[in-house]
Amino acid sequence: MSLRRATLRRRGLVIGLSAIGFAILIFLGSLFQAALTVGEAMAQSSVRPPANAVTNAPSAPGEARVRDAVAPLEGAPTAPWEILGPNSDSTLWGEVRQGSVFSVTIPDQNAATLVQSYGIAWQNTRSMRGPLRTYGTMSLFGIVALLFVFYLFRGRIRIEHGFSGTLIERFKPVERCGHWLLAGSFILLALTGLNLLYGRDLLIPLFGKETFAAITQGGKWVHNNVAWAFMLGLVMIFVMWVAHNLPSKTDLKWIAQGGGLFTEGVHPPARKFNAGQKLIFWAVILLGASVSLSGVSLLFPYELPVFATTFAILNSLGAEAVWGAPLATDLSPLVEMQYAQIWHTMVALAMIVVIVAHIYIGTLGMEGAFDAMGSGMVDRNWAEEHHGLWVEEQDAKAGASDASGTAAPAE
Ligand code: HEM
């Protein structure tokens, strides 16, 4: 079979497998979600709040409540307009407004907080002029501007010795399947996630409220379900590539020469992955794990709080010295959710910035790079210039088994 046909077949196989993987995961995700929704509805229908559920609700204006049984201080004023003190309606509603937690006898303890006042702080954090969106926008425009300037000065990094016409297999189908599962799901998650953060202000003026609502409802479904494909892709690439991404002395040489990215004709030695790619790999793994954990915590509200435990661990590692005070570990379920949402967005934005740079170098930025993930075969000159030590290893392996095993002339 000709090499081209074999390559096309392999490409078809990878795309087919990825598509099937996606479909299965989306199906499983929706099943899971549907099961939970039904479970939740059944649980709620079997719980009825008792008539006196909110024990401290005011019974009638001006009347005493259970929590008002506050003994007046000795020598306190007794004039009718002063005596109410902590028992007055304004004091009570002031407390409600400040987010005081009262007591309820229904299972949902969140109902004991009538007005969730720190929700305002949370809302301000993600509002149009809040820090999340301000720094998020700056980072996204920042990375695009940086890449643009880099492109203006360096242009496309060409294969210095031109195409040799000989191809080497760089990534096996299973590796590309894992990569595209991760990449495809990440792009969907990034687009639907950015819509949740910016869509209201950007899309409503363009498409109107109804269309935006439909887009966002569909986007939320995609976001919740495709997350499982992302996690699977993350585990796949971790298992397949972790051994190639452990730091080594060669990385120091690569870094010292700026990876040859800034100077034409400079090609520092590298094995399968160079130091820059190792940084990308670990950023994807660590940020990806964190965005997944906070995402799962958001997907199952109040079921998987993660911040109190994380803060307790950080405190035990000496967070106080950095922060100036121990991190709070008595977080209410609502505050847990707010922290999870803010952290999830921050980590996702950081990851998008890293991935925009990665996509640039894998497509426009470097001649011959895309083939590695497209067909899996790269030109030998490209491989020698960017991953010289890896080519030597491949040659040694091929020589040990069969000299013609890995390298084949291109058609
Ligand atoms: C259109 C989008 C993307 C393109 C064109 C692309 C392209 C590539 C290419 C060509 C390589 C192999 C480089 C080599 O042969 O040395 C690669 C590797 C890799 N990709 Fe992507 N990629 C994309 C999206 C993503 C996304 C979204 C993620 C993670 C969320 C990701 C994670 C990785 C990792 C961890 C590696 C190995 C380390 C590295 O080469 O930087 N990629 N990608």
Question: Quick one: tokens of 291?
Answer: 């965005």
Ligand 1: atom nearest CA of 378 is 15
Ligand 1 in contact with 180 (CB < 6 A)? no
Ligand 1 in contact with 344 (CB < 6 A)? no
Ligand 1 in contact with 194 (CB < 6 A)? no
pLDDT of residue 26: 64
pLDDT tens for 12-24 read 666 666 666 666 6
Q: Which domains does the chain have, with CATH numbers?
A: 66-112 (no CATH), 118-171+246-409 (1.20.950)
Ligand 1 in contact with 277 (CB < 6 A)? yes
Ligand 1: atom nearest CA of 230 is 30
DSSP three-state, residue 164: coil
Ligand 1 in contact with 25 (CB < 6 A)? no
Query: What's the one-letter identity of residue 118?
Result: Y
Of 150, 122, 197, nearest to 347 by C-alpha is 197
- Cα of 184 vs centre of ligand 1, distance in Å, is 11
pLDDT of residue 408: 47
pLDDT of residue 7: 62
pLDDT tens for 57-98 read 555 555 545 444 455 556 555 555 555 566 677 778 888 887
pLDDT under 70: residue ranges of the chain = 1-87, 402-411
pTM score, whole prediction: 0.79
Question: Quick one: tokens of 58?
Answer: 């005011």
- What is the rounded CA–CA span in Å between residue 188 and residue 164? 37
Q: Whose CA is nearest to atom 38 of ligand 1?
A: 277
- Cα of 358 vs centre of ligand 1, distance in Å, is 6
- What is the rounded CA–CA span in Å between residue 78 and residue 410? 98
Tell which one of 234, 373, 385 to mutate to probe ligand 1, the residue whose CB is within 8 A of the most ligand atoms. 373
